[in-house]
Amino acid sequence: MGTIERLLLTVVLAAGLASGPAAAAESTPPLPSWNDTQARQRILEFVEAVTKPGSDDFVPPEERIAVFDNDGTLWSEKPLYFQLLYAIDYVKTNVGKHPEWRDRQPFQAVLENDQKALAASGEKGIVELVMASHAGMTTSEFDASVREWLKTAKHPEKKRLYPELVFQPMLELLAYLRDNDFSTWIVSGGGVDFVRTFSEDVYGIPPQQVVGSGIEMAFEMRGDGPVIVRQPKVAFIDDKAGKPVGIQRHIGRRPIAAFGNSDGDLQMLQWTAAGEGKRLMLLVHHTDAEREWAYDRESLVGKLDAALQQAKADGWVVVDMKGDWKVVYPFEGGAE
Amino acid sequence: MGTIERLLLTVVLAAGLASGPAAAAESTPPLPSWNDTQARQRILEFVEAVTKPGSDDFVPPEERIAVFDNDGTLWSEKPLYFQLLYAIDYVKTNVGKHPEWRDRQPFQAVLENDQKALAASGEKGIVELVMASHAGMTTSEFDASVREWLKTAKHPEKKRLYPELVFQPMLELLAYLRDNDFSTWIVSGGGVDFVRTFSEDVYGIPPQQVVGSGIEMAFEMRGDGPVIVRQPKVAFIDDKAGKPVGIQRHIGRRPIAAFGNSDGDLQMLQWTAAGEGKRLMLLVHHTDAEREWAYDRESLVGKLDAALQQAKADGWVVVDMKGDWKVVYPFEGGAE
């Protein structure tokens, strides 16, 4: 290599021209924690098709919207949605300030670990728990409360911090899509401000790219300045038929790729599938009782039935967690 | 210049290293349609302070959120909000399909150009007009209807297409902020899906960066696939105290710069001002009866009173449209 070439190369490298997805792909193949089965192949084929300039399937970067369910798709959701476990821990931690909870359901059931009484309180009981732990605070107070919990609370069975229970193969998928100029979005049945407390650190998804359920909020001018106070009233449920509506409200553009794991994601996948051009619809099927959990049609949390039928009928990708993933959680050690 | 230098320069230019805000600033000063008055100076000072690495005021790019009101801040709003003029035109165009409108208020008033009867129908009448023209359609139908209107309808006084009535100095401000790695957002009292039909083409703001008022929507599976149908029920009013709430819902992060023109923007500016670190709050004051309109405290549309008082008390930037702007609309011809 002559002097000029060497100099040019230095400039090119300094300018970052030799980095980026293409060059990176040559050194490390994408999705290293995925076995090289059909699921991985179909993801790679889709991304190559929509990003290749001149291809019939080419989609410009601003339209490369990929939406991800959170519970059961990006992290685990057993034995209960983690947000509900936060609500339960909140009640246990804050009963000192609320002595009335000791003999009022569903709080008493939570404090006495009475699963039966908790189940008996039904959906109404769950809403009461969530409201007690999610409303009344300002947005800053709620944010601080959840962040503290995420730093300290341990999962009852896995004995791990909750942010450790994310799926390594999905983290790689998020990064791979972003390397290919997709914008990655969470569209969760969970509370939008709950998910935002960890989405940026854990998934690389900034708060403005999180769509979720929400409670009413009120702006208030207080002595030391304005605050936004969370109200004990549900404003929007971003689940099932609410997911395409949440997407329209927040994004205003139809996704070209959608990732879910339960019947709560069916309408989001249908809405994505119905757009023009090449699309990718994918379901994570929880088949690994050893490393994670195995469940589908009969599960109360994360029930997967109608969506699995439509996936089979319409040829959507179904990930077999046991067979398709080399590792489930990051702490199992990275892929080879 | 020697051969190597020349070659290096070629590579550097080809790699785009010599372009970008810094280099551009050397050739063309930013905000060319702004007179070099205090308003322009304070914008430049703010942007330099928060973008200079190592500065005490430095803000990382992901937190450089700038929010803009739309009506009266980015485009005109007289004699009525343009979205209301769309609703009026819609009623006139579609009366054939709705003969019952001929003798029902507020439709009759619109059809007979009866300003007095229209005013008498009050807020309830306006809501009825908006619902008639904004609900019942699918999201695609509404989008197509507004886009068609924007391509053909003329402003009653200016005799111009509505997208021509945007403010050239504000277009330059949007571009200048984006050149400095700000994300630019619209936070409008207007309908979010109405504004999205032109925000990307006209302002360079993609649909996902538009926050606004909204009506309820419902996902429906029809014979030829899924649709989202707009419902005749208001879901959220993104005005006054609703603006900080809309910002929290959609962005989940407090802006560092906020631009408005009326009392409807006051709480958004207060919320922005109350954050930590350097902030920019700016009001566009409509003072130019010749080129645009002159109004403030007494105006029904875009009333500016309490916000102007607070701007003066707290030292927010107040743009004097007549004195601070060389041109108002792009069609007046660019700046020198």
Residue B211 near chain A (CB below 8 Å): no
User: A55 Cβ partners below 8 Å, 6+ apart?
Assistant: A49
Interface residue A190 vs chain B (CB under 8 A) = no
A264 in reach of chain B (CB within 8 A): no
CA–CA dist A167, A286 (Å, integer): 12
For the record, the structure tokens of B174 come out as 């949007």
Q: Is residue A3 less than 8 Å (CB to CB) from chain B? A: yes
> Do the beta carbons of residue A11 and residue A303 sit within 8 Å?
no
> How many other CB atoms sit within 10 Å of the CB of residue B16?
11
Selecting from A62, A206, A236 the residue whose C-beta is nearest the C-beta of B206 gives: A62
Report pLDDT for A6.
43
Quote the pLDDT of residue B125.
87
pLDDT band at A13 (very low <50, low <70, confident <90, very high): very low
Residue written as tokens 């807020």?
B123
For testing contact with chain B, the best of A67, A134, A228, A266 (most B CBs within 10 A): A228
CB of A215 within 8 A of CB of A230?
A: yes
- At B291, the amino acid letter reads R
pLDDT per residue over A79-99, tens digit each? 999 999 999 999 999 999 999
pLDDT in tens, B283-323: 999 999 999 999 999 998 999 999 999 999 999 999 999 99
Q: Give A 39-68 residues with CB within 8 A of chain B.
A: 62
Neighbours of A15 (CB within 10 A): 15
d(CA B70, CA B76): 9
Instruction: Report, as an integer, the average pLDDT of A322-329.
Output: 98
Query: Which pLDDT value is given to residue A115?
Result: 84
How much is the average pLDDT of A252-260?
A: 98
Rounded to 10 degrees, the C-alpha dihedral A130/A132/A134/A137 comes to 170
- Please give the share of chain A, as a percent, with pLDDT higher than 90: 85
User: Where does the pLDDT of residue A125 fall: very low under 50, low under 70, confident under 90, or very high at 90 and above?
Assistant: confident
- DSSP secondary-structure letter at B32? T
Contacts of A183 in chain B (CB under 8 A): 208
Task: State the smallest CA–CA distance between residue A124 and chain B in angstroms.
Answer: 23
Residues constituting chain A: 336
Question: Does residue A61 have a pLDDT over 50?
Answer: yes
Asked if pLDDT for residue B335 goes beyond 70, the answer is no
Tell me what pLDDT residue A334 has. 58
Residue with tokens 């109200």: A231
- A178 interaction partners in chain B (CB closer than 8 Å): none
Domain layout of chain B by residue ranges: 33-78+165-332, 82-152
What pLDDT does B334 receive?
58
Q: Do A250 and B226 touch (CB under 8 A)?
A: no
pLDDT digits (tens, 9 = 90+) for A175-214: 999 999 999 999 999 999 999 999 999 999 999 999 999 9
Which chain A residue lies closest to B10 (C-alpha atoms)? A8
Q: What is the C-alpha to C-alpha distance for residues A288 and A170, in angstroms, rounded to an integer?
A: 16
**Among A95-99, A154-158, B119-123, B232-236, the least confident range:** B119-123
Instruction: Give exposure, A102-116, as e/b (b: 16+ Cβ within 10 Å).
Output: eeebbbbbbbeeeee
> What top-level class would CATH report for the domain A31-79+162-214+236-331?
alpha beta
CATH 3.90.1150.200 fits B33-78+165-332, yes or no: no
Q: Do A207 and B241 touch (CB under 8 A)?
A: no
What are the pLDDT digits (tens) for B4-35? Answer: 444 333 333 333 333 444 444 456 899 999 99
Question: What is the tens place of the pLDDT at every residue in B42-70?
Answer: 999 999 999 999 999 999 999 999 999 99
Positive or negative, the CA dihedral B179, B180, B185, B188 is negative
Q: What is the DSSP annotation of B141-184?
A: HHHHHHHHHHHH-B-TTT-SBGGG-B-HHHHHHHHHHHHTT-EE
SS3 category, A73: coil
On chain A, the residues whose CB falls within 8 A of the CB of B274 are 225-226
Among residues B118, B108, B110, B104, the alpha carbon closest in space to that of B86 is found at B110
For chain A, say whether B11 makes contact (Cβ under 8 Å): yes
Nearest CA in chain B to A211: B250
pLDDT at B333: 81
pLDDT per residue as tens digits for the range B175-215: 999 999 999 999 999 999 999 999 999 999 999 999 999 99
Cβ-based neighbours of B76, under 8 Å, separated by 6 or more: B82, B155, B158, B165, B167, B292, B293
| A178 Cβ under 8 Å from any chain B Cβ | no
User: What contacts 24+ positions apart, CB below 8 Å, involve B87-90?
Assistant: B87/B129, B87/B130, B87/B132, B87/B133, B87/B134, B88/B129, B89/B149, B89/B153, B90/B132, B90/B133, B90/B145, B90/B149
Name residues whose C-beta falls within 8 Å of residue A240's C-beta, 6 or more positions apart in sequence: A263, A264, A266, A267
CB–CB contact A253 B193 (8 Å): no
Q: Do A249 and B214 touch (CB under 8 A)?
A: yes
Cα–Cα distance list, B287 to A261, B34, B324 (Å):
56, 15, 10
CA distance, residue A36 to nearest chain B CA (Å): 34
pLDDT of res. B203: 98
Q: Which residue of B has its CA nearest to A218?
A: B245
DSSP readout, A245-265? Answer: HHHHHHT-S--SEEEE-SGGG
- Whether residue A219 and residue B242 make contact (CB cut-off 8 A), yes or no, is yes
The count of other CB atoms within 10 Å of the CB of residue A152 is 9
All residues of chain B having their beta carbon less than 8 Å from the beta carbon of residue A193 are 248, 252
Do A217 and B252 lie within an 8 Å CB cutoff? no
Query: Tens of pLDDT along A277-287?
Result: 999 999 999 99
Residue B3 has a pLDDT of 45
| Closest residue of chain A to B204, computed from CA coordinates | A62
Give the distance from residue A240's alpha carbon to the nearest chain B alpha carbon, in angstroms.
9
Nearest CB to B7 within list A4, A242, A267: A4
